[in-house]
Amino acid sequence: MKNKLIAFNIIAIGLILLYPILEFYCIYYPLKFKFSEIFNQIEYQNTIFILVGIFIFSSLISLFRIDKLLKFNLGLNFLLIILFFSSLINQLIDLKKEEKEYIERALDDIKKDKIVFLYSGGFPLPEFSSETYAKIDSIHNKYGVDYINIGVLDFKHDKLELKYEETVKPYLEKRNGKDWKKRMQKELDAIKREKLY
């Protein structure tokens, strides 16, 4: 009986520790990551608090007889699993809401004829002179786009920005013609070769 209880608790702790990894993977599913990247993105503070809470709670319960509490323990673990999965579902629902917001932003930008691509890339060092940056901005204006670095590395934003790009792609192809990105990149490369500083 004790071996079964120990095995059950080890499985429960394993699920609690695996949950944040599974949650992260489910939210960012199409993107592929190394395990080390996922582990660095996950915040284990909540999980540690849950494990400490379970430890304190189980210490208090151990004062009572096990045979009376076995059904209660199974019910409690089942309840915890339900809470974890409901949290995952809530986060997926929030992600869908944020996708709608990005699509609405895309439609609003289409009406304004100014598409603003937000990308996460950290804070860049200046590579060019201010005149070169002004020319780069004029080329972006010619094609009706702007690129803004939001300054943080955010995988969630990157995934949501794909929805934005998906929404504005037909409009930009209609406005600028096919292969507009290649033409714009050629113009940008020509300016960047002129002078750096």
Q: Where are the domains of the chain?
A: 1-99, 113-190
Quick check: 25 pLDDT over 80? no
Phi, psi of 119 (to 5 degrees): -130, 150
Averaged pLDDT of the chain: 80
Give the pLDDT confidence score for residue 39 in this predicted structure.
66
Contact 120, 150 (CB under 8 A): yes
Q: Which residue has the higher pLDDT, 65 or 156?
A: 156
Percent of the chain whose predicted confidence (pLDDT) is above 90: 5
Q: With H, G, I as helix, E, B as strand and everything else as coil, classify residue 103.
A: helix
C-alpha distances out from residue 11 to 2, 74, 77, 79, Å: 14, 12, 10, 15
Q: How many CB atoms lie within 10 A of CB 172?
A: 17
Give the pLDDT confidence score for residue 108 in this predicted structure.
92
Quick check: 197 pLDDT over 70? no
Give the Cα separation of 154 and 75 in Å (integer).
38
Give the pLDDT confidence score for residue 13 in this predicted structure.
78
Task: Look at the alpha carbons of 124, 125, 127, 132 in this order and tell me if their dihedral is positive or negative.
Answer: positive
DSSP-assigned letters across all residues of 68-82: HHHHHHHHHHHHHHH
Q: How many CB atoms lie within 10 A of CB 111?
A: 8
Percent of the chain whose predicted confidence (pLDDT) is above 70: 80
Contact 115, 174 (CB under 8 A): no
Structure tokens at 28: 């960012």
Structure tokens at 150: 């939001």
Q: Tell me, yes or no, if the pTM score tops 0.85.
A: no
Single-letter amino acid, residue 80: L
Q: How many CB atoms lie within 10 A of CB 167?
A: 19
Q: What is the mean pLDDT of residues 174-187?
A: 88
C-alpha distances out from residue 31 to 38, 47, 61, Å: 11, 24, 43
Read off the pLDDT band of 68 (50, 70, 90).
low
Lowest mean pLDDT of 25-39, 94-108, 127-141, name the range: 25-39
